Amino acid sequence: MASNTENYALFYTLLFTGMRRGEALALRWQDIDLLLCQLSVTRSLQYLRNAPVKGRLSFKAPKTATSKRMIALSPSTVAVLNEHREAQIKQRQELELPALSDSDLVFSHYDGLPLLPDSITHAWMKLARKCGLKDIHVHSARHSHASLLLKQGVHPKIVQERLGHAGIGITLDLYSHVVPGLQQQQLINSMSACW
């Protein structure tokens, strides 16, 4: 169902990278290396409701210093992003718009203008309701990504780095309930270090 929506590539990227909504909306093609299967988070799109109309959307540094990070991409995410890029190139040619450049946004309107963060949230919620899922927010993609990695046995430090958390303690506080025994293992490790 999601694959038939205009935001499929964005939603897929959110689910398979754990990025924040604003980080994904700020991605430029120059931030993605489809050959090395990685992307670089260097900024975030922010919507300021009380600002003058022309200044409501702005790009800023990510949430924390550790939010600037490199994220490895799965082969399927690379395939989705390649298809998305080809579709953007084709659409621009058909509409006789300037060619796609590396500085253009990955996820944007057809003319290259940024997507409104709230529009993406509403599109996500509408799709979730269509699928019979209630109270599944766009930020849930981030939590799902982290939870699945931890359940697959990925080390919490790797998950922390992918999510851009300031410290591993944040990741463990948020997700220790996901993996039975993770909390006990951390306790054993810290006690062993004391002896």
What CATH number corresponds to the domain at position 44? 1.10.443.10
pLDDT at site 8: 95
Q: Tell me if residue 21 falls in helix, strand or coil.
A: helix
The model's pLDDT over 60-84, given as tens digits with 9 standing for 90+, comes to 998 788 889 999 999 999 999 999 9
- CA-wise closest residue to 44 among 64, 24, 28: 24
The number of domains in the chain is: 1
Distance CA 115, CA 106 (A): 10
In the numeric block, which tokens belong to residue 82? 């390649």
Average pLDDT over residues 46-64: 81
For the ranges 49-58, 140-149, 164-173, which has the lowest average pLDDT? Answer: 49-58
Measured in degrees and rounded to the nearest 5, phi and psi for residue 58 equal -145, 155
**Residue 184 — very low, low, confident or very high, per pLDDT cuts 50/70/90?**
low
- CA-wise closest residue to 22 among 55, 67, 65: 67
Whether 195 shows a pLDDT value over 60: the answer reads no
Helix%, strand%, coil% for the chain, nearest 5: 55, 10, 35
pTM of the model: 0.85
User: Which of 17-31, 156-170, 172-186 has the highest mean predicted lDDT (pLDDT)?
Assistant: 17-31
User: Which of 26-30, 50-54, 145-149, 170-174 has the highest mean predicted lDDT (pLDDT)?
Assistant: 26-30
The model's pLDDT over 93-131, given as tens digits with 9 standing for 90+, comes to 999 999 999 999 999 999 999 999 999 999 989 988 888
Tell me 110's DSSP state: T
- Residue ranges making up the domain that contains 167: 2-194
